[in-house]
Structures are given as structure tokens and as C-alpha cells.
Amino acid sequence: MLETPELMGYISYAIGKNGDLSGRTLVVSAGGTMEPIDPVRVITNHSSGKMGYALAEAARDRGADVFW
């Protein structure tokens, strides 16, 4: 038996197949990043990735093929 969130994902996907983003493919990057500025120091953020995941799920629900 499927858990509720997984079942809702399948239903949203089935409904979204004819959505306004149907036929489009999106790549979503989510989470913290770290970029070196020299051999010792880095610029970083402590992002949780929640916004990226929410955007990916919304696009999927509207019919897009989403990779994250």
C-alpha cells in the first residue's frame, strides 16, 4: 500500500500531464553551495533547498518533466 504523500505525487503527476508546462523539461538545483575564492577560503551558504524542492514539485504538478 502506498503512503499518502507518494499517492498524492502519482495523482498530481497524472492530473498535470495536460498542464500548462506539459512537454517542457526543467532542471532544478536546490541546496547549499560552496565556491572556493582561493586555496584557503570559500564563499558558502547554508540553504536547506526547500524552495528548490517546492518549485520542482509545483512544476511537476503542472506537467513538466523535472530533474533535480
Instruction: Answer yes or no: 18 catalytic.
Output: no
How far is C-alpha 63 from the chain's CA centre?
Answer: 13
Q: Which of 35, 45, 57, 64 is catalytic?
A: 45
**Strand 65-67 and strand 25-27: pairing?**
parallel
**Distance from C-alpha of 28 to C-alpha of 41, rounded to nearest angstrom:** 27
Residues carrying an active site annotation: 45
